[in-house]
Amino acid sequence: MTELARRARVETSPGAARNSRRRARWSERVAKWMFIAPAVIYLVVFFAYPIVKNGLTSFQNYTTSSLYTGKAPFNGFQNYRHIFHSGIFGKIALNTALFTIGSMVGQFVIGLGLAVFFSRRFPLNGLIRSVILLPWLLPLVVSSTVWRWMLDQDNGVLNNVLVNSGLTTTRVPWLTSTTVALISVILVNIWIGIPFNMVILYSGLQDIPTDLYEAAKIDGANGLRTFWHITWPLLRPVVGVVVILGFIYTAKVIDIILVVTGGGPVDASETLAVGSYNLSFKTFLFGQGAAMGNVLILISLVFAAIYLRMNRGTFSETDTR
């Protein structure tokens, strides 16, 4: 009994209690890191490492021989100087801006219109919305291949409809004209991106209280005033998410352009993403391709930072509500 009592006094002493709490905190900390570790490892392997590797490659003379020898000497900013002073950088930068702005405006306007339309109750609402999601669900290569056939100058469906309906007497060279090729890939990208905008904006519309619309209707507000003074202010945080994600997704589009026009004719539809691909995997100038890719990443980060700063007040107000 004496030994048992002594052990009980030791275990209940202040020092033993502190050790017990310390072990409990350590076990809790280890458990937290065990849950976090898989996500951290995934981010490091598939995000952090490629970004760091791409950044280092842009400062190296990395060619096909480097794949075998492992030697890629640093050449400073030579890769960046080469792409900035190349004769096509200004052209493909303008193409990127036109492609991004045109696609985002078309996708957003049509997507918002469809979201407002489907926010009302009517028969087959869910079925029609499901059908509209098909462009988003189909593989991009499949969609782009179908559009390439539809836009063909001689046998394309679009030209056949235009000619047979009397809207034009000549077939439009959608894929072979230096002035129309960029418009063609913008139209294809708009068609593919409409469902994404519609789904996100539709979910935002569902969060707006219906009482506000009923009160506006009692006050005699028409549809346009109701949209401008109720729908749009409450939808702005969701619009911010759509704009940021839309810019990032659109600026890096490559598969649609490669399948539909290949960046041609004469670089008429080539963007920074396509240019980075061509430098890396057609001319095998990996350092210059990485440099052009980093320019695109920097532009996306700057745009996101500016837009978030401009709408910081809106997001703060939403959080406080």
Looking at residue 271, the DSSP 8-state letter turns out to be: -
Cα 187–Cα 190–Cα 191 angle in degrees, nearest 5: 90
Q: Give residue-wise pLDDT tens across range 67-78.
A: 788 788 888 899
What is the mean predicted confidence (pLDDT) over 163-185? 89
Q: How far is CA 262 from CA 35, 149, 185, in A?
A: 44, 14, 10
Radius of gyration of the chain (CA): 28
For residue 317, the SS3 value is: helix
Q: What is the value of pTM for the model shown?
A: 0.83
Examine the pLDDT at 12 and tell me if it is beyond 60: no
* Confidence label for 314 from pLDDT (cuts 50, 70 and 90): low
pLDDT score of 76: 85
The domain locations on the chain are 2-57, 89-320
Examine the pLDDT at 315 and tell me if it is beyond 80: no
Q: Cβ distance 255 to 262 under 8 Å?
A: no
Q: Cβ distance 240 to 307 under 8 Å?
A: yes
pLDDT score of 312: 67
- How many whole angstroms separate alpha carbon 103 and alpha carbon 97? 10
What is the mean predicted confidence (pLDDT) over 172-200? 92
* Secondary structure (DSSP) of 91-129: HHHHHHHHHHHHHHHHHHHHHHHHHHHHTS--TTHHHHH
- How many whole angstroms separate alpha carbon 260 and alpha carbon 314? 39
Q: Which residue has the higher pLDDT, 10 or 143?
A: 143
Q: Cβ distance 255 to 113 under 8 Å?
A: no
Residue pointed to by tokens 């500016």: 306
Percentage of residues in the chain having pLDDT higher than 70: 91
pLDDT score of 9: 53
pLDDT score of 29: 81
Q: Give residue-wise pLDDT tens across range 40-64.
A: 898 888 888 888 888 898 998 888 8
Q: Give residue-wise pLDDT tens across range 128-165.
A: 888 888 888 888 889 999 999 999 988 889 999 989 88
Looking at residue 208, the DSSP 8-state letter turns out to be: S
* Confidence label for 316 from pLDDT (cuts 50, 70 and 90): low
pLDDT score of 151: 92
Of 155-164, 175-184, 199-208, 301-310, which gets the smallest average pLDDT? 301-310
pLDDT score of 15: 62
* Confidence label for 197 from pLDDT (cuts 50, 70 and 90): very high
List for the chain the helix, strand, coil content (%; round to 5): 75, 0, 25
Q: Among positive and negative, which fits the CA dihedral 78, 84, 87, 88?
A: positive
Mean pLDDT (the chain, rounded)? 85
* Secondary structure (DSSP) of 17-57: HHHHHHHHHHHHHHHHHHHHHHHHHHHIIIIIHHHHHHHHH
Identify the CATH class of 89-320.
mainly alpha
* Confidence label for 313 from pLDDT (cuts 50, 70 and 90): low
Looking at residue 71, the DSSP 8-state letter turns out to be: -
For residue 75, the SS3 value is: coil
What is the mean predicted confidence (pLDDT) over 303-319? 66
What is the mean predicted confidence (pLDDT) over 182-211? 91
Q: For residue 247, which of 100, 108, 30, 29 has the smallest C-alpha distance? A: 100
- How many whole angstroms separate alpha carbon 210 and alpha carbon 221? 14
pLDDT score of 70: 77
Query: What DSSP element (H or E) covers 14?
Result: helix 14-43
